[in-house]
Amino acid sequence: MLTFGTGQGYLKAGFLGFNKSGKTHTAMLLALELRKRLSITTPIAIFDTEAGGEAIASRVRKETGMPLIGEKSRSMADLLKLARECEAGAAEILIVDSITHPWRELCQAYLAQVNKAREAMGRAKRTRLEFQDWAAIKERWSEWTDFYLNSKLHIIICGRAGFEWDFEETENADGTTRKELVKTGIKMKVESEFGFEPSLLVEMERLQVPDSSQPTRFRIVHRATVLGDRFDVMDGKTIDNPTGEWFAPHLDMLTPGATNIVDVAAKTDMHVDEAGDAAFQRERRDRTKLCEEIQGEIVKAYPGQSAVEKRAKMELLEKCCGTKSWTAVEGFGIERLRAALADVRAYLKTATVAAGKEE
């Protein structure tokens, strides 16, 4: 059993927003502030999928005296490789911009490999992923999720935003109703569960607001809204054009060096046998077989449908199973079914012997 309270040692932050909303720039400001506060001496690293690294490289060099390092790729394999190199000592802060592309690349790579196999078998290519594909894709993606949560590395992710949709029932003028597809919110374009993993999750928006110095004109602002803060010190806060210092309340809650690792290696024993059947599946199959055997023994002894034989079947069932209901017998546990089968066979054997003596 663990004792909690040692604190969170590494920043796990996320920014989501539409194009030009300021995700990359704000992630850089947060990284610079984090580096200054924790007196980090290694370079800042970036996994760059959109060429945004070039836009912030000069600012990073100016502020840190060191180059921005990393990788330009969209491959999830490359992301994991870079992240592990950083954790091994190359860097202590990693910006991933954007996480949407590795997720898409993983899905596309899987579909491409499926189609390659189908082509080799002379089968038509598929144009989209199907339900049965997602288990394998999510299993592969979990390598990144597990690393993100447990790594001794400060990780700031940027992700593209997408709208969430749902059906809403609307009343017509004549009193009838119709369903309309409506926007209900926004989400990060990435594997559905990962969007909730960051301890600090910030939505970025690009907005036009009136220019106070020139009332007839507008200016562009990048608005940050904290959607989630596990320390609950910034939750719901909003600011236009945030600086790195604005995130200080969350950064001050970090405990440098503290580890808070979730055990992802421990697996529940599902009692699956060599054939791939789990214990509950085997039991269900065995119960079905036992019910069929009980039924078979009864029908073998009383194959007819006369009133006498029907009454004999009911008496046998009640005598050996304690019920006249076959549905109730089908609901018996496996041990009770085994005992019932033994009782049926013993009863019929005794009845046969008795009938022979009478003859």
Contacts of 69 (CB under 8 A, 6+ apart): 43, 44, 45, 46, 90, 91
Tell me the CATH number of domain 12-170+180-251, given options 1.25.40, 3.10.110, 3.30.70, 3.40.50: 3.40.50
Looking at the chain, the domain(s) classified CATH 3.40.50 span 12-170+180-251
Eight-state DSSP code of residue 264: -
Dihedral through CA 269, CA 274, CA 277, CA 278, nearest 10? -20
Where in the chain does DSSP place strands (E)? 12-17, 44-48, 69-72, 93-97, 154-171, 177-188, 200-211, 214-229, 238-240
pTM of the model: 0.71
Does residue 192 contact residue 50 with C-beta atoms inside 8 Å?
no
Structure tokens belonging to residue 28: 């850089």
Q: What is the mean pLDDT of each run of 10 residues along the chain (359 residues)?
A: 78 92 95 96 95 93 96 94 95 94 91 91 90 88 90 93 69 72 67 82 91 81 93 95 96 85 64 56 84 90 86 87 87 89 89 58
Antiparallel, parallel or unpaired: β 200-211 and 12-17 = parallel
Structure tokens belonging to residue 142: 């979990």
Q: What pLDDT was estimated at residue 165? A: 56
How many CA atoms lie less than 13 Å away from 191 in the CB half-sphere? Answer: 21
Q: Taking the CA atoms of the chain, what radius of gyration do you get in angstroms?
A: 33
